[in-house]
Amino acid sequence: MKHTFFRSLLSSLLLLVLSIGNATPVFAAQLTGRSDVMTRQAPAIGSDHEIRFITPTGVDAPTDTITLQFASDFDLTGITAADIDLLHGPITGLEISETIAAAAAAGVWGAGVSGQTITLTAPTNAAIGEITATHIVTIRIGNNAGGANQIINPGPGAGGAPRTMWIAGTFGDTGIIEIPFAQPTNNDAIAITATVGAVIGGGGGGGGGCVGIACGDTQGPIISNIRVVNITSSTAMVLWDTDEPATTAFYYGLTTGYTGGFIGDGTLVTSHSVSLTNLTPETLYHFRINGTDGLGNTSVTLDNTFTTLALDTPVEALIISNVRSILITDSTAAITWNTNIAADSKVDYGISDAYGFVVVRGTFDTVHQLDLSGLTPNTTYHFRVTSETGLSSAATGDFVFQTLVDTNPPANPQNFVAVGDFLQNTLQWVNPNVGDFSHVRILARTDRYPNNPNDGVLVYQGNNQNAIHNGLVAGQVYYYANFAYDLSGNRSSGALAQATPFGLTETPTSTPPLPTNPPVTDPGTSPGGENPTTGAVTSTPEVPTVTTTEPGTDITDPEKPEITEPPVQPPIQPPVRDIVITPVYTLGNGSVVLVPNTKNEINTVPGPAITVVVRSEEVPGNPETATILVGNDRYLLTKLPNGDWTASFVPDRSGQMPAQITFGYDDGSIAQATTTIITGVPGQVIERDIPFIGPARMVEGVRITVYQKVDGEWMQWSGAITGQEHPFKTKADGLWGFVVQNGEYRVLFEKEGYDTEEKIVTVTNNLLGYQVEINKPLPVDVNIIGIITTAVAIANIATVASLLNYLWYLLTQPFLIFGARKRKKWGVVYNSITKQGIDLVAVRLVHAKTGLTLQTRVTDEKGRYFFHVKPGQYKVVAVKAGYVFPSVIVKDVKEDDEYLDVYHSEEVAVEAEADLTMNIPMDPNNKEETPAKVLFKSFLRKMQGFVGALSLIITGIALILEPGWILLGLFLFQLATYLLFKKLIASRKPKNWGIVSDVDNKHPLERVVMRIYDKKYNKLLETQVTDGRGRYGFLATKNTYFITADKPGYDRFTSDDIDLTKAKELAVEKPVKLKKKNIQQ
């Protein structure tokens, strides 16, 4: 009895739980893209409203309603159905306009007002798709809807706090719009309202949804690339990006309280901008940015600032000119324009002047080009262009262009194979990787390959990539053709394969008579049907018992006893006609012609589709068959209306393979042409620890941009038309390369933390790609002495920094060595105290806005350098161990002794292509070391010199005893390295010497540490050690100096001031006499 009670209790609890579970309410889905644009915001005055949102659920029943509940101090008294419009659509939200009346009817929406709520009721015959899910919904209220009445704004006493409007109803979605209402004193300011997160709960109607964490997304949008442009004395423009579509919310003011104002837009976009006006001149402004994604996740930036200009600061106007749409195809286009000064690039585009799509490039240029891809064929597109600099911006009006009708067939399916099995054939292929791919259609015959999509029995049609053809006759050869279709109904020429199933019986000697095949229709064939190939049979032999097994079906073969394969007969070689066929291979609808070399080889990279065309005049008569065999893949050639023959295919892997075109005639003869296709990626980006010497490592994430000359101007090359990603970022293997039309190109390699590389190359084999080495900026404070080892240790006699700088100097500036006399204007990096040029200084040209290093130069022995630059904003940085830049000693002056145009790390604006040749002072920063340390370093240098010479001698002896190319190369490398290091440690010597001697016995003293100082700044300038004859000598300029001498066991010597301001010989070579220390007994 007890057990029965507990079982009954447990059953009751379970039933209660299930009942509660079934009663769980369905939460409303969140509206996205919410906004309310008001025409006026002055208090107590009428305003139009345009409310927009994206519905994730849509309207699909006559019981569905949409409600708009306004804040209590809005006055809706005069609003009627005649003052309301409802529109919706997938792109702009304006495509479909609904009929509005006071009550709902068939095909008519009802609209009513009750207090603060407007209710829209779906038509009485509403069904699924009345408003499609994900459509943009637009509700207009007021004069903008053709009405006579408007909603009255809150009155003057209501204050400027934000108001909320709640969108809800039984249609299943909900959301809140927060309206940052104007201050009562504001006279008719117009604002675009912002949105906040939706309320979860409530709502019946059609369907549920998720918000934030319920959808798995808890992260707010990442706000980046914040920049302030077009700054004047009273205006500024702030731009930023988000990594996902988000709202725009901008707060600003004179303090971090941001009381100056708010600008917002509820539209979900990734590129954001606000324009500020009526600012105060020479004033620091603070601002903060909020961004909310479609799931209500919000991100907030830290404080940012900018300062307006003074009233009289001139700002050059940015002018956009020569706007064009070029390279238009059915799915791509390029937009080009010019600016009078260097600026960035942006194109807004779409199927209306509301646009909706954007493409940007942040680099500054005067010639601009941006590619548009993924366009719809035969469609009119609107676009406008915008360019911005740090101080000004400009935008154009609306332009239009129309894409072409899509008449280009997709490439053939790749890797189409048929494999014989027990009474069936297995078919596999790879669908074309194109955006408008629709399906494939596979047909079979038993006497020959199908010639077109209606020439045979249908085996499979769909967008999978494998199928099974079963119920076949053992030993019978089955011929297959696989045709790919795009969304416009264009088809490929056809990929071919064949297979022979096996079975228990021997191969029949002849095909048994088959019933007549019913007509086969091709749903993808364009109107007018297929142009039959000359010589094709008009009646199609039936393939017996054809069934199609979709992929994923579990097929269990019957038991297979021992099977005897049919004997393989050797093929009979047909006679070849004496016909010269010259096929033309192209990419990108013929935009790039692949030019064969003398060996009839063409080059390409993996990925882009190749189209081959054989001109009609090269193909006499009426061929019965026309195919091209590319490696192991065979394709049909399609005859075009003009008589030419064509096919498309995709080389998807690197290597060399023949492409053999064969035309077959009814007399059994054939005509052939063979071209070798070489596929590979020709270029690679590498780096080395020691430029040109160390082991190479591949570099990932390098942005590669290609430019070509158009009408004498360098313009960005368009890769979209050929299906090549451009600009391109390298992957982990560092590989890069493009297929291009032969000609001259400029290639730019950029990565943060690396020097920018640029090269102009001439392409003659359609392949643009080569190995390029990029390097990190040279070390700033490296001043160590080490040993570079080879097979026999080679001594390093110089600092690593000097070695790298010297190598860079030799390899990037040979014209500084051989052509110095030809150049009249140089910049000089010089010692701020001695005014002498400093050699082996790494001078870097840096983009002022991005901080990227664009070029690096290394000064020659006289400290000379120069940069040739395009228009833009730049800074220059000078780096050498033992020196400080910018100079503290020489600052705030434009002239220093004989040097003009002195540079102090300020920003430089270049208006036109020019040479940068400023003079750069650097302060010496030599640290005074103990005499023992100085002597030890001097000893090390001598030992390293000895080891270096010894290693060279050992290698020379080894070469004599065992001659060979490897040892010869090593010897020459050691010799060059030894001479290089000798060059690095060599110093300029004065004509005469000063002698350091003992004051008592007059004997010269070696290993005396000599130092020279600048008198004015008390700065150590140079340190030397006397040689075996007591010699030293300092080169100097017209200045005042003093020297010191230190040697263990002797008193320190400090000279009187040495005044060279009027001297003819600019060297310090004063005789020095040292006195031994008085040692007490």
pLDDT of residue 287: 93
pLDDT of residue 418: 93
State yes or no: pLDDT of 251 exceeds 70.
yes
**Nearest residue to 413 via CA among 738, 652, 662, 594:** 652
State yes or no: pLDDT of 559 exceeds 60.
no
Question: What are the tens digits of pLDDT across the range 413-434?
Answer: 988 999 999 999 999 999 988 8
Query: CB under 8 Å to 232, separation ≥6 — which residues?
Result: 308, 309, 313, 315, 391
State yes or no: pLDDT of 133 exceeds 90.
no
pLDDT of residue 185: 38
**Nearest residue to 1024 via CA among 958, 944, 938:** 938
- Mean pLDDT, residues 285-291 taken together: 90
- DSSP class of 63: T
pLDDT of residue 912: 77
CATH fold of the domain at 214-307: Immunoglobulin-like (2.60.40)
- Mean pLDDT, residues 649-669 taken together: 88
Per-residue pLDDT band at 59 (split at 50, 70, 90): very high
Does CATH place domain 683-773 in 2.60.40?
yes
Q: How far is CA 700 from CA 134, 143, 361, 422, 774, in A?
A: 38, 57, 21, 49, 11
**Residue 1032 and residue 1028: Cα distance in Å, rounded?**
10
Question: Comparing 236-240, 360-364, 528-532, which segment has the lowest mean pLDDT?
Answer: 528-532
- Mean pLDDT, residues 520-548 taken together: 39
Please count the CA atoms within 13 angstroms of the CA of 116 that sit on its side-chain side.
Answer: 13
- Mean pLDDT, residues 630-654 taken together: 88
584-679 falls under which CATH superfamily? Immunoglobulins (2.60.40.10)
**Residue 457 and residue 540: Cα distance in Å, rounded?**
8
Per-residue pLDDT band at 543 (split at 50, 70, 90): very low
Chain centroid to CA 139: 39
State yes or no: pLDDT of 927 exceeds 70.
no
pLDDT of residue 124: 94
Q: What's this model's pTM, rounded to 2 decimal places? A: 0.45
pLDDT of residue 551: 42
CATH fold of the domain at 813-924: Immunoglobulin-like (2.60.40)
Question: What are the tens digits of pLDDT across the range 842-856?
Answer: 898 888 776 777 788
DSSP code per residue over 23-45: TPPPPPEEPEEEEEEES--STT-
Q: Which residue has the higher pLDDT, 1010 or 954?
A: 1010
Q: Which residue has the higher pLDDT, 518 or 914?
A: 914
59-62-63-66 Cα dihedral, nearest 10 degrees: 40
**Omega within 30 of 0 (cis) for the link into 727:** yes
**Residue 385 and residue 401: Cα distance in Å, rounded?**
14
> 683-773 with 931-1074: one CATH topology?
yes
Q: Which residue has the higher pLDDT, 939 or 803?
A: 939
CATH fold of the domain at 320-402: Immunoglobulin-like (2.60.40)
**Residue 5 and residue 9: Cα distance in Å, rounded?**
6
pLDDT of residue 530: 42
State yes or no: pLDDT of 542 exceeds 50.
no
* Arithmetic mean of pLDDT over the chain: 78
CATH number of 931-1074: 2.60.40.1120
Identify whether the C-beta of residue 148 lies closer than 8 Å to the C-beta of residue 141: no
State yes or no: pLDDT of 271 exceeds 80.
no
Question: What are the tens digits of pLDDT across the range 441-453?
Answer: 999 999 989 988 9
- Give me the amino acid identity at 771: Q
**Residue 867 and residue 876: Cα distance in Å, rounded?**
10
**Residue 177 and residue 167: Cα distance in Å, rounded?**
8
State yes or no: pLDDT of 102 exceeds 90.
yes
Q: Which residue has the higher pLDDT, 807 or 14?
A: 807
Per-residue pLDDT band at 162 (split at 50, 70, 90): low
Share of the chain above pLDDT 70, in %: 78
Q: Where are the beta strands (DSSP E) in 929-1026?
A: 994-998, 1009-1014, 1019-1025
**Nearest residue to 214 via CA among 235, 200, 226, 203:** 200
**Nearest residue to 31 via CA among 211, 175, 194, 212:** 175
Per-residue pLDDT band at 991 (split at 50, 70, 90): low
For residues 566-578, one letter each, b for 16 or more C-beta atoms within 10 angstroms of the residue's C-beta and e for the rest, the string is eeeeeeeeeeeee
Q: How far is CA 927 from CA 688, 803, 837, 1021, 1023, in A?
A: 31, 21, 20, 9, 10
The class level of CATH for 29-206 reads: mainly beta
Question: What are the tens digits of pLDDT across the range 1011-1050?
Answer: 888 887 777 888 888 888 888 888 777 788 899 999 988 9
Question: What are the tens digits of pLDDT across the range 312-330?
Answer: 766 677 889 989 998 888 8
pLDDT of residue 217: 60
pLDDT of residue 199: 31
Tokens, residue 864:
């000379």
State yes or no: pLDDT of 268 exceeds 80.
no
Query: CB under 8 Å to 407, separation ≥6 — which residues?
Result: 330, 488, 490
State yes or no: pLDDT of 890 exceeds 60.
yes
State yes or no: pLDDT of 806 exceeds 90.
no
Identify whether the C-beta of residue 540 lies closer than 8 Å to the C-beta of residue 445: yes
CATH fold of the domain at 414-513+538-549: Immunoglobulin-like (2.60.40)
State yes or no: pLDDT of 41 exceeds 80.
no
Per-residue pLDDT band at 123 (split at 50, 70, 90): very high
Tokens, residue 163:
């108001």
pLDDT of residue 539: 37
pLDDT of residue 460: 94
Identify whether the C-beta of residue 882 lies closer than 8 Å to the C-beta of residue 925: yes
Please count the CA atoms within 13 angstroms of the CA of 375 that sit on its side-chain side.
Answer: 31
How big is the CA angle at 925 (ends 920 and 928), to the nearest 5 degrees? 155
- Spell out the domain ranges in the chain: 29-206, 214-307, 320-402, 414-513+538-549, 584-679, 683-773, 813-924, 931-1074
pLDDT of residue 1033: 83
State yes or no: pLDDT of 99 exceeds 90.
yes
